[in-house]
Structure 1
Amino acid sequence: MRRASVSISIQGRDVSMDIAPHLLTLTYTDKADDELDDLQFSLEDREGIWQGHWLPKHGDAVAVKITAENFRDAGREELDCGEFEVDELTLESGADSGDVVSIKAVPACARSSLMLQRKTRAWANAPLAVVAADVVNPVGLDLLYKAPEIVYDRVEQRQEGDLAFLQRITKEQGLRVALKNRLCVIYAGQSADALEPLALSRDSLDFACASFKRTLDGVYTQCVVGYTDAATSDTTEKSFQPELPPTTGKVLTINKRIEHPAQAERVAKAELRAKNCKEMTGS
Structure 2
Amino acid sequence: MNTRRAYVDLIYNGTAATAEISGFVTDISYTDPASGEADSLDITLQDRDRRWTGAWIPVAGDTLAATIRALNCQYSGDNRILPCGFFIVDSFSFSGWPVSGSISAISTPLDSSFTTTQRTKTWENVTIKEIGTEIAGHAGIALAWDVEGDPFTIKSVEQSEQTDCEFYMNLCNTYGLAMKVYAQKIVVYDREAYKKKGAAAVLSPSSMKSWSWQQDQAGTYTGGEFTYTSPATEKEIKVTVGKGSRILKQSGKADSKADAERKIKAAVAKANHGKTKLSATIVGNASLVASQCVQVVGLGKLSGKYYIDTITHNVSGSGGYTMDLEMSLVEE
Task: Give the structure 1 partner of residue 86 of structure 2.
Answer: 83
Query: Paired residue for 1:25, among 22, 27, 36?
Result: 27
Find the partner of 2:202 among 200, 203, 228: 200
Aligned residues: 274
Tell me by how many angstroms 1:110 deviates: 6.5
Q: Is the 8 A contact 2:176 2:270 kept in 1?
A: no
Which of residues 274, 277, 280 in structure 1 aligns to 2:276?
280
The amino acid of 1:256's aligned partner reads: G
Residue 218 (1) aligns with residue 214 (2): no
Query: 1:204: Cα distance to partner?
Result: 6.8
Cα shift readout 1:178-210 (whole Å, capped 9, x = no counterpart): 2221222222222112111233233773x4333
How far apart, CA to CA, are the structure 1 residues paired with 2:232 and 2:105? Answer: 45
Out of 6, 10, 13, the residue aligned to residue 11 of structure 1 is 13
RCO higher in 1 or 2 (8 Å CA, sep ≥ 6)? 2
Match of 1:270 in 2: 266
Pairing partner for 2:187 from 185, 189, 201: 185
Q: CA deviation at 1:108?
A: 4.1
Identity %, equivalent residues: 26
TM-score (norm 2): 0.75
Structure 2 unaligned segments of length 5 or more: list them: 280-332
TM-score w.r.t. length of structure 1: 0.87
Query: Where do residues 233-244 of structure 1 align in structure 2 (5 Å cutoff)?
Result: 233-241=234-242
CA distance in 2, matches of 1:122, 1:70: 53
**d(CA) in 1 for partners of 2:158, 2:135:** 12
Aligned 1:26-175 pairs, distance under 5 A: 26-74=28-76, 75-93=78-96, 95=97, 98-109=98-109, 111-147=111-147, 148=149, 149-175=151-177
Name the CA distance, whole Å, in 2 between partners of 1:33 and 1:263.
23
Per-residue Cα deviation, 1:131-166 (whole angstroms, up to 9, x for no partner): 221111243322232334120222332222111121
Cα deviation for residue 173 of structure 1 reads 2.0
The answer as to whether partners of 1:227 and 1:235 remain within 8 angstroms in 2 is yes
Letter in 1 for 2:91: E
Preserved contact between residue 189 and residue 270 of structure 1 (Cα < 8 Å): no
Rounded to whole Å, the distance in 2 between the matches of 1:236 and 1:173 is 19
For 1:111 and 1:28, the matched residues in 2 are separated by 22
Q: Tell me the CA shift for residue 73 of structure 1.
A: 4.3
Residues of 2 paired with 1:3 and 1:40: CA distance?
19
CA distance in structure 2 between the aligned counterparts of 1:236 and 1:110, rounded to whole angstroms: 45
Change (3 A) 1:201 1:124: closer
Any gaps of 5 or more consecutive residues in structure 1?
none
Distance 1:99 1:250 in 2: 56
Structure 2 vs 1, CA of residues 40 and 66 (structure 1 numbering), >3 Å: closer, same or farther? Answer: same
**1:71 to 1:142, Cα distance in 2 relative to 1, 3 A:** same
1:281 & 1:7 partners in 2: Cα distance?
Answer: 32
Q: RMSD across aligned C-alpha pairs, in angstroms?
A: 2.2
- Indicate the SS of the match to 1:208: strand
**Which residue type is aligned with residue 81 of structure 2?**
E
Is the 1:231–1:259 Cα contact (8 Å) retained in structure 2? Answer: no
Contact 2:107 2:184 in 1 (8 A): no
